[in-house]
Amino acid sequence: MFDSLKKIGELKRNSSDNPSSSLPIKRPKTKSKEMYLVIFDNDKKDVKFEKKEITQNSFDEWKFIGNASANKPMDRVTTTNLEYVIGFDKDGNLTRENKRIINSAQSIPKVGDLLKKVDQWYDPSKWKQEKIEEWKKEGYFDGGLYSIVVVEGGKRHELAKFDEYTNYLLGSSHEVNSGVKCQVCGNEEALPNPDYPGGTILKMYITDKKGFTSGITDSDEFRLKTHAVCNDCKNLMQLGESFVSNDLKARVGKLSVFIVPNLSPDSPAIILDRIKVDGSGWIVSINDMEKAEEEIMDEAEARDYVYSVSMVWGDKQQSKFMVYKVNYDVTMPRLYEVKRTSNKVEEKLQIKELISAQKLTDRNLDVRSLYALSPVKETTRGVIATPFLDVFSALMEGYSLDRRYIFSNFLQELKCIRTNTCQNALSRIPFESAVTLSTGFIMMFKILNVMESSKLELDAKEYVDKLGLSKGLKGVFLLGVVTASVGLAQYSKGDKKKAILDRIDFEGMDESDVKVYANRLMESLRDYGILKYNEATLAEALSLINEDRDSLSSPQENVFWLLSGYSWKTLNFIKQGKIKEEEIENE
């Protein structure tokens, strides 16, 4: 991934003649549309504010690369926090010395000379007493961006625009270890400590083993033994990481995913504009676009430049990057195969048409629905998404998972959807539609070899034939179809929650449980006077189960196909107007 980030950085740097284009510019989403230049006048010993509008170019113009994380000195003259500039916050709390830019940036050539003179007369304690109420009233604390300007000898100096400041941010004057090779390019001038910014993807490669592993100490020698990189590669990787964080990031539920493309050596810069990332679909796509200068690239050509992508699932924190999962080198052919298969299954099983009966028009067989149908637990302390990430990784990387694990995951979420107890914000889906989408995913997984294949029968037989189940599981599916008829009868009698569903054990039902359930189903058919309409289907279901008992070896799979048959038939009832969709939604 180092090489990929470096390649992105090279493309971004080479696409501009501006030296600052090599900086990893950050573009945070700010509530305010105003920025302030904070002007320290060394001649008049005064502080003034100059308001400007935040534009698309503001973060580049004033070289905002983020605030120094954790306890690191705030040695950057552009920030999103006014307290770093003036030394106190809007509540009157003084800022720590190492977070005051006027103190921490004094080592920067030329910039530091001007700030040292400011430090001789500017005392945060004094200015807080005299100016805090005025500055609060003027709204200066509510800006989205701040940068320092110093007036000296009648001349105005915008510190962020000094070449010396740019060179400082690029680390041009950093000490190097001659003779130690950079592991990325081979240059024999590695940095003793790359000191990547906290909260970035690069930070996940730096692991502190001091105190846990014998012989490891916090020294340049041991850092260089674990990770050696030269200053140029470091800057390029940071530039690449910044582009990934700003432009190749998506949200899926409560998870963030960062896409790092592996590009061919001769890739043009325009390719970066062609890679689109979205929290729906299957996250990555290459769109047909035209460059302003009439440079046109078709999709096939674009694919030749993008070998694969790595998908980094994680969250940026103040001083580190929390990694949940990394899908390394997902090939473009695999991505397109997943997309094609999802589209074919949707069409074959008429999924969009079926779930439209419950007015569900924004769901497809895609990553968003897979997340919604996985037993993800979202809490105030974070998200536990291992089941989703396991299945998604198998889908992207092309390996198989235990079929019982997959069925169990779906059943856990279907149970909580049924009982309205999910801890997954995307799981607000009508139950029958949720089961139908799950059925589509199961078929997808079988086609893509994510789970071992098995065999699944419009009438019910015709539909289940499309699924390709074994005889025994066909019988279980047909039991689900009969269950829907009982559910319709209960619904018609005023039981909107359909008590028959309470007899299904969402944890799993073995062969014996299925047969007991079938007997209770027959009693219900008699009770509601609908046995004669369902007797043939029930008889065939039991016959298929008795012929192929071995297929009922997985209790979780049995319940899944039972619910699948129920949902297929129920959605057809809704389409026919026998059940009102709004009342199903409110179950």
Angle between helices 460-467 and 471-492 (to 10 degrees): 140
With contact defined as beta carbons under 8 Å apart, do 537 and 460 qualify?
Answer: yes
- CB contact at 8 A, 433 and 360: yes
Q: Which of 4, 583, 510, 547 is nearest to 264 (CA)?
A: 4
CA distance 332 to 315: 25
Q: Cα dihedral angle (184, 190, 193, 199), rounded to 10 degrees?
A: -20
pLDDT at 129: 93
Phi and psi torsions of 129, nearest 5°: -60, -40
Tally Cβ neighbours within 10 Å of residue 470: 17
Spatial separation of the C-alpha atoms in residues 429 and 417, rounded to whole Å: 7
> What's the burial of 447, exposed, middle or buried (CB within 10 Å: 0-12/13-18/19+)?
middle
Mode of pairing for the β-strands spanning 321-331 and 306-316: antiparallel
The answer to whether 330 and 276 have CB atoms below 8 angstroms apart is no
The Cα 186–Cα 174 span in angstroms is: 18
- Residue 69 contacts residue 318 (beta carbons within 8 Å): yes
Query: How far is 240 from 260, CA to CA, in rounded Å?
Result: 9
What's the pLDDT score for residue 487? 92
Residue 106: name the closest of 153, 23, 40, 165 by CA: 165
Phi-psi region of 343 (alpha: psi -120 to 50; beta: other; left: phi over 0): alpha
Give 156's strand partners: 151
User: Could you tell me if 526 and 489 are in contact, meaning their C-beta atoms sit under 8 angstroms apart?
Assistant: no
Structure tokens at 381: 């302390």
Alpha-carbon span 233 to 3, nearest angstrom = 9
In Å, how far from its chain's centre is CA 341? Answer: 22
Phi, psi (deg, nearest 5) at residue 169? -65, -30
Sorted by sequence, the CB contacts under 8 Å of residue 33 that are 6+ apart come out as 53, 54, 144
d(C-alpha 276, C-alpha 299), whole Å: 12
* pLDDT score, position 103: 94
> 3-state DSSP helix/strand/coil percent for the chain, to nearest 5?
50, 15, 35
Round to whole Å and give the CA distance between 202 and 127: 39
For residues 180 and 187, the answer to whether their CB atoms sit within 8 Å is no
Q: Which of 506, 563, 518, 570 is nearest to 544 (CA)?
A: 518
| Residue 171 near residue 184 (C-beta atoms within 8 A) | no
Decide if 149 contacts 115 (C-beta within 8 A). no
Cα(60)–Cα(265) distance, integer angstroms: 27
**Is the CB of residue 79 less than 8 Å from the CB of residue 67?**
yes
Strands 34-41 and 145-152, bridge-based pairing: parallel
Alpha-helix runs per DSSP H in 80-182: 82-86, 101-104, 111-121, 124-137, 163-169
**38: phi then psi, degrees, rounded to nearest 5:** -95, 115
Could you say which DSSP state residue 378 is in? E
* pLDDT for 369: 95
Residue type, 98: N
For residues 418 and 431, the answer to whether their CB atoms sit within 8 Å is yes
Residue 376 and residue 426: Cα distance in Å, rounded? 10
Alpha helices in 227-331 (DSSP H): 231-247, 271-274, 299-305
Residues paired with 257 in a beta bridge: 250, 313
Q: SS3 of 33, please? A: coil
* Paired tokens of 527: 């009770």
CB 489, CB 528: distance < 8 Å: yes
3-state secondary structure (DSSP) of residue 259: strand
Q: Which of 121, 115, 120, 123 is nearest to 165 (CA)?
A: 115
Nearest Cα neighbor of 249 from 299, 201, 304 is 201
Structure tokens at 253: 């539920």
User: CA 404 → CA 220, 410, 474, distances in Å?
Assistant: 49, 10, 18
Average pLDDT along the chain, 587 residues, taken 10 residues at a time: 87 70 81 94 96 92 87 91 96 94 94 96 95 95 96 96 89 62 82 74 55 50 69 86 90 94 86 86 71 44 75 82 88 87 94 88 90 94 92 89 89 94 92 94 91 52 84 94 92 87 94 92 89 84 90 95 93 79 49
